[in-house]
Amino acid sequence: MRNMKAVYLMMVLVLAALTLAACGGNNGNNNNQAAATDAPKNTAAAEPTKEPVKDPVTLTFLIPNTDDVTPYTQIFKDFEAKTGNKVEVQALPGGDYDNMLKTRFSTGDFPDVFLMQPGTKQYVKLRADETLYEWSGEAGVWDNVIESITEFQKDANGKAFGVPFGKTGMMGVFYNKDVFASAGVEPPTNYANLIEIAKKLKDAGVTPFYEGVKDGWPTQVFYLTGWVSQVDQEVGDEGVQQLNVNGLKLSEIAALKDLFVKSKEVKDLGLFQKNTLSGTFDELQNELGEGKVAMAFMLDGILPQLEKKFGNDFVKEKIGFFPFPSTTDTGTAMITPPNQLMVPSKAKNLEAAKELVKFMISSESVNSFYKMHPGIPIFKGATSELYPSQITVQEYIDAGKSKVNVQNRLTASFLDLGKILQTFHISGDVDAAIKEMDTNYVKDGKSKLLEGFE
Amino acid sequence: MEKSKYPLYFSFPAIIVFLVFFITPTVIGFYYSFTDWNINASSIKFNGLDNYKELFNEPRLKQAFTNTLIFAAAVTVLQNVAGLGLALILNEKLKLRNLLRMIFFMPYVIAPLVIGYIFRAIYHPEHGIVNKFFDTIGLDFMMQDWLNDPKFALFTIIITDIWRVAGFSMVVYLAGLQFIPKDLIESASIDGAHYWTRFKHVVFPLLAPAFTVNILLAMIGSMKVFEIVMVLTEGGPGYTTEVFYTYIRNTFSSGEMGYATAINMLLFALVTLVGVPVLMAMKKREVEM
């Protein structure tokens, strides 16, 4: 017992000593503060208070590998030079990007910033209210974004969880001008004319169309770009709204069925390359660039890829574009709103991530982006040199003959469309393909707990 | 001589690890398979047998089920045939015996993902060495799009996996062969039994424990196949090479956690239903020997 008493006594003494030491330390600080306060003002001016040096951080930036990373890399270099913060780019497989992102979210493995497809449907997909930083009221973000894009970015409650970045994109038919000239053909005036042109090209010994069935996603372009020229004419905006609340079935749309029939016809006529099942996006670029293939239903992501492989002059002079033609005319240009930058609210370096986003949409960064990735700008005052293929789309937009991709207008997705189309390519069963597309669409709406899908 | 006994609490660390990392997640998973757990929902509700009812109406799952069974049956049989054949050859006195044993075992050590990437190049329809080989020897009609043609894709994955795992079976059979008393084989030889008779009446029965281990491991492992399918075909083209785990993976990543867990439970039940009777039958055969 006597020993324990001694221990307690020692503990009390030590604690008391520490308390006293703390008081003494505090006194010292106070003295210093007093000294600082008493110091003449000119001394303070001569030795300005230095800002606390922040520890540089490394931010993670996720991007699908179908996007060109080069312009982002340049912006991140400038960001590092300005702030000291580094940005590590992680390019995930384009086909699995959404799934991989959602998996990372559900396991709490948040990136700091990530590039996402356009539209408010992404908010539902990522449960934005709980997981994403909201930008609606953020100063210095919206001033330079053109109004229509700002509006597109907001959900029904006026909230924006993403910052638009990039350019207005497009999908349609990219063609090799030299190949067309050699075969003596011109861009089509309607769909029947397109098939005639394809037959002529085949007779001239060129593969008319390339289909990247192995990669899955390229096959979707035919249907999505065909939608604005054909299906929208049948269902209109009202029909799309009906689809949004599960009030209309995909299998009830005759024009959609017609698109599947048309795709089958192209295959049956032998207008695709031989090995469609092993067709890839990469090979598509090579074949189109080398003039072995005349056309491809594709998105504008192909332009920077072609530029990398065949040079800027090639893309400017040799690559043309036309929309999916309708039965009666040259069709409607399918446009896509820009991608968006998103920041998880639980990002490890939230403040630095916000700083990065603001840096990315600054005039310097935006112009640097457009310099390397020319496109129709969405920022006021931004300048961009357009490829001739983009000028074609701009002309359609100006003429009022453009429409936003249906996938961006719907909240539920055409789930696994790439796989469904691979199966369709093998079996050729139109009804089975549409039935599966319909089932998966409803399944996705149900999984996202959307109104009308319960 | 009395056997030394150890106190029961020596096993406690192992039991705790097993309970925490194996039993508890399994029980929790079993519970979640009866819920509507979805990453788009803010709460999780018990929904009885809804997930199980839904999955039995899912055509993709039927295809995954069929493909998994075909894969498991083919790999189990052929892996053991190849493994036993290699073991019998490499049990003989050969000059490069040890080197060959190492070469045949090596694929098993390489990660299935790496093997998948290597074989994607090997099976490439134009630049792959398989088609180049057929072209060179004048059998160009044998040139196929091995991974993208639905007629061949599953078969190609099966062959690749057998190449990968046959070495493991070989090692187990080799170990079994080492335990067979030499005097039994010598006696049979003196009695005039030729190689096949010796194998049938002496070697094969005494290899029963090695068969039990190999068949059971091959069966369970192949029913849980994932990486090699994922890298080679991603379950495609379409859904033609979809197996249980590629389907589960897609369902998990689309956020339907409860439903995906139910599919996992179904696979667990399937492995148990197939594995336990096979194990009992094989063990019985061992005893009867």
DSSP, res A442: H
Query: How close B248 gets to chain A, by Cα (Å)?
Result: 13
* Interface contact flag, B148 A278, Cβ < 8 Å: yes
Mean pLDDT in residue range B98-113 = 94
Q: What is the residue type of A180? A: F
Q: Looking at residue B251, what is its pLDDT?
A: 87
Q: Residue A215 gets which letter from DSSP?
A: T
What is the β-pairing status of strands A333-336 and A402-404? parallel
A442: which chain B residues are within 8 Å (Cβ-Cβ)?
none
Average pLDDT rounded to a whole number, residues B76-83: 97
- Cβ of A447 within 8 Å of Cβ of B255? The answer is yes
User: What is the rounded CA–CA span in Å between residue B164 and residue B162?
Assistant: 5
B250: contact with A, CB 8 A cutoff: yes
Q: Concatenated DSSP letters for B186-241?
A: HHHHHTT--HHHHIIIIIHHHTHHHHHHHHHHHHHHHHT--HHHHHHTTT-STTTT
pLDDT at B250: 85
Show the tokens assigned to A86: 């580094």
Q: Residue A103: in which H helix or E strand, if any?
A: helix A97-106
Residues sharing a CB contact under 8 Å with residue A345, sequence separation 6 or more, in sequence order: A130, A131, A132, A133
Determine the 3-state secondary structure of A178 from DSSP.
helix
Q: Does B143 touch chain A (CB under 8 A)?
A: no
Chain A: closest CA distance from residue B89 (Å): 39
- Token code pair at residue A246: 């599960």
CB pairs under 8 A between A and B: 69
Question: Which of A106, A130, A422 lies closest to B238 in CB terms?
Answer: A422
Which residues of chain A are under the pLDDT cut of 70? 1-54
Other beta carbons within 10 Å of B264: 20
- Locate B164 and state its tokens: 């990968």
Give the model's pLDDT for residue A105. 87
Residue found under tokens 């209109």 = A236
Contact call for residues B224 and B42 (beta carbons, < 8 A): no
Q: What percent of chain B has pLDDT over 70?
A: 98
Flag if B253 and A426 touch (Cβ within 8 Å). no
Residue A39 pLDDT: 38
DSSP symbols for chain B: -PPP---GGGGHHHHHHHIIIIIHHHHHHHHHTTB---TT-SS--B-TTHHHHHHHT-HHHHHHHHHHHHHHHHHHHHHHHHHHHHHHHHTS--TTHHHHHHHHHHHHHS-HHHHHHHHHHHT-TTT-HHHHHHHHTT-GGG---TTTSTTTHHHHHHHHHHHHHHHHHHHHHHHHHHTS-HHHHHHHHHTT--HHHHIIIIIHHHTHHHHHHHHHHHHHHHHT--HHHHHHTTT-STTTT--HHHHHHHHHHTT-HHHHHHHHHHHHHHHHHHHHHHHHHHHHHHHH-
What value does the CA radius of gyration of chain B take, rounded to a whole number of Å? 23
Q: CB of A412 within 8 A of CB of A445? A: yes
Work out the widest C-alpha separation in chain B, in whole angstroms: 77
Across the interface, whether the CB atoms of B252 and A103 are under 8 A apart is answered yes
> Measured between CA atoms, how close is A296 to chain B, in angstroms?
20
Task: List the structure tokens of A157.
Answer: 């409650």
Residue type at A43 in one-letter notation? T
Joined together, the tokens standing for residue B39 give: 């990453």
Contact A130 B39 (CB under 8 A): no
> Over the stretch B231-289, which tens digit does the pLDDT of each residue have?
999 998 999 999 999 999 888 877 789 999 999 999 999 999 999 999 999 888 776 65
Contacts of A422 in chain B (CB under 8 A): 236-238
CB atoms within 10 A of CB A295: 26
Contact A449 B256 (CB under 8 A): no
The amino acid at A2? R
pTM for this prediction: 0.78
CA B122 to chain centre: 22
Q: Which of the four pLDDT bands, split at 50, 70 and 90, describes residue B1?
A: low
Residue B201 has pLDDT above 60, yes or no: yes
C-alpha to C-alpha distance for A6 and B72, rounded to whole angstroms: 73
- Nearest CB among A127, A422, A447 relative to B237 is that of A422
At A274, phi and psi to the nearest 5?
Answer: -65, -55
Calculate how close chain A gets to B239, using CA atoms only, in Å.
Answer: 7
- A80, A86 in Cβ contact below 8 A? yes
Q: Which amino acid is at A50?
A: K
Interface test with B, best of A97, A103, A124, A435 (most B CBs within 10 A): A103
- pLDDT, residue A236, reads 93
The CA distance from A120 to A351, in Å, is 24
Peptide bond between residue B237 and the one before it cis (omega within 30 degrees of 0): yes
How confident is the model at residue A10, as a pLDDT?
47
Per the rule left: phi > 0, alpha: psi between -120 and 50, beta: everything else, A381 is: left
* Residues of A engaging B, defined by a Cβ cutoff of 8 Å: 96, 99-100, 102-103, 105-106, 124-125, 127, 130, 213-214, 216, 275, 277-278, 415-416, 419-420, 422-423, 425-426, 444, 447-449
- From B238, B250, B255, residue closest to A423, measured CB to CB: B238
CB-based contact B148 A214, cutoff 8 Å: yes
Q: Which of A99, A278, A426 sits opposite B238 (nearest CB)?
A: A426
Closest CA–CA distance from residue A453 to any residue of chain B (Å): 14
